[in-house]
Chain A
Amino acid sequence: MTDTPLPGTRPNTQDSSTPEQRRIRRLRRQRAMNTFEAAVMIVIIVLVLFPIGWMVATAFKSPAVVYQYTMWFEPTLENFRNIFSERWNIGKNILNSSIVAISVVIIATPLAVGAAYAFSRLMFPLKRTMFQWILLTQFIPAVAIVLPFYVMFRTLNLLDTYFALIIVNLSGVLPYAIWTIKGFIDAIPIEAEEAARIDGAGRFRVIWDIVVPMAWPGIMTAAIFCLILTWNEFLFGYLLTRQHAVPLPVGLISFVLERGTVWELVAATGIIITIPMFFFAMIIQRHFTKGMNLGAVR
């Protein structure tokens, strides 16, 4: 980027070029590369931000402007007032999603820490097999799980309850949490634990005082991932709830009416679904790659 144009040099494809000419050619190619790279980056940024920006704009458009192809309009909060009104009552969906997501995180994280510690530090029979089977359960399609649960919850009169949603959501996030946290515990030097053990600390003391603080970034990463996955979860909510426990993403469906979809309300709800998750994702951004790769690739 810093080099200046070099007039009077011609690209030379013969091999008779002097080192000076070759240097110039390389610089020119580099400049072309940099321009190309900048162009590609702009395209990517547009592709990432355009759908999000369009949604944000739509959420602040008045219904008349929604059906126009424009970014120029007078912003209004009418749509947000509308979705919180008695008719749509999106506040109830927010409450449902929060209760389910927070419960899942509160249950899954401590269980995962315990299991991850055992898999990382202790010796016991069938350890490797058990660990692989836990990972395998991540790959079971949700359709195969939801059918028996539907029948079971119907029999037990638990359809459309928080309990049902919490249980099925745990099936998806718990193996993931164990996997992630184990990766972080593996990375803690064992000497720190041994020193404390020699000083007479019991295992649980060691876990609480040494392992948990040192693996904290990993625990946070796992917890936030679980939160995002549960919050955005759609299939279980779609099939196991009717009106009382409907989570936020499923609430989007209620704007699809016979006379058409009320897009401005979809967009406003979309913003409410997305903003907290953006915030949480930003928190764990630094650990994003680390958390994923520790378990996946070693």
Chain B
Amino acid sequence: MSQRRLAFFLLAPALLLVAFTTIYPLIVSLWTSFHDYNLTRSLNMGPWIGVENYTEAFKYDPDFWKVMLVTATFVILDVGLTMLVALGLAVLLLRQGFGKTFLRTILILPFAMSPALIGISWRFMLNPDFGGFARTIGAILPFMRDVDYFANPYLAMGALVSSDVWHWSPYFCFMLMGGLASIPPETQEAARIDGASAWRVFRDVTLPQLKPVLVVAIILKSVFALKVFDAIVTMTSGGPGRETTTLGYFAYQIGFRDYQFGYAAALAYILTAIMFVLSLSYMRVAFRNAP
């Protein structure tokens, strides 16, 4: 059998499945987004209305820009904090010492947990009357006693971000550990002999060499952050008001609560476009030196 025919034979099932489960629905979504499709009025798709669903979002829907702001805030906080925690953990874990194996083992736990479960647990933990987090915070900071976390926009956002950081930091910690371990130790050693402080060695020698891995991690985490859905449903339901409603959750609400499928498809497509730009930059970085 020729290589081409064999490749076709091996690839066809997987490619067909990927095409059917992602590319096909993506095209249908795009098509839907140019139509008037409201499930409360009719079970069938309405007439072609061009880009009206998109102008609705950008021009007329006051919620849309609010949601975009929430999304940007969430992504920036989430990605920034996850990277800081993951990098700190990675540096810590790569140092020799007592308890590192144990720490590495338990770090798997948050990652293996369902985000929906983490979301609902956080809501429990932050209950001011009997929640483990809320009562502990209240004991340390008395002014935080009896605070309703999910009624306050900043605290609700903080709760959502913290749950996602808790879930994802281990994954990115392991990824950055791989990156740190592949840096030749001679460079750091040389800088140390020249009298550089530990912080200078890290900032001027280690960090620049870690940059390719770090960039990949940041883009990947941004994509994951834009995808967050489960924890929003089980923890904040997007509230208070729209304060924790990210674009993905907004599209869900428009589609599956208000049954405006056309508009929801347009919103989902705006999200897809943002992710696409991020993904392409990811590809460029990840494949820069690939064979």
Contact = CB atoms under 8 A, between A and B. Distances in A.
DSSP class of B's interface residues: helix, strand, loop or mixed? helix
Interface string B96-126: 0111001111111111111111101111110
B38 to A, nearest CB: 13
B89 A111 contact: no
B158 to A, nearest CB: 15
Interface string A265-298: 0110010011001101110010011101100111
Interface stretch (B56-64, B146-154, B200-208, B262-270): B262-270
Nearest to A202: B1
A58 B272 contact: no
Given A122-B3, A141-B275, A203-B1, A111 B13 contact: yes
B276 to A, nearest CB: 7
A249 B29 contact: no
Interface of A: 34, 37-38, 40-41, 44-45, 47-52, 54-55, 58, 66-69, 111-112, 114-115, 117-119, 122-125, 127, 130, 132, 134-152, 167-168, 170-171, 174-175, 178, 203, 228, 231-232, 234-235, 238-239, 248-250, 252-253, 256, 261, 263, 266-267, 270, 273-274, 277-278, 280-282, 285, 288-290, 292-293, 296-298
Given A203-B6, A234-B115, 4 more contacts: A48-B166, A114-B11, A141-B226, A174-B21
Q: Which 9 A-B pairs have the closest CB atoms?
A: A171-B21, A232-B114, A148-B28, A115-B14, A281-B112, A114-B10, A148-B25, A144-B268, A139-B279
28 contacts: A48-B109, A51-B166, A58-B124, A115-B15, A122-B3, A125-B4, A134-B18, A139-B279, A139-B282, A141-B227, A141-B248, A141-B268, A141-B271, A143-B264, A143-B268, A144-B29, A144-B269, A145-B21, A167-B20, A253-B234, A261-B120, A267-B121, A278-B108, A289-B178, A290-B178, A292-B171, A293-B178, A297-B212
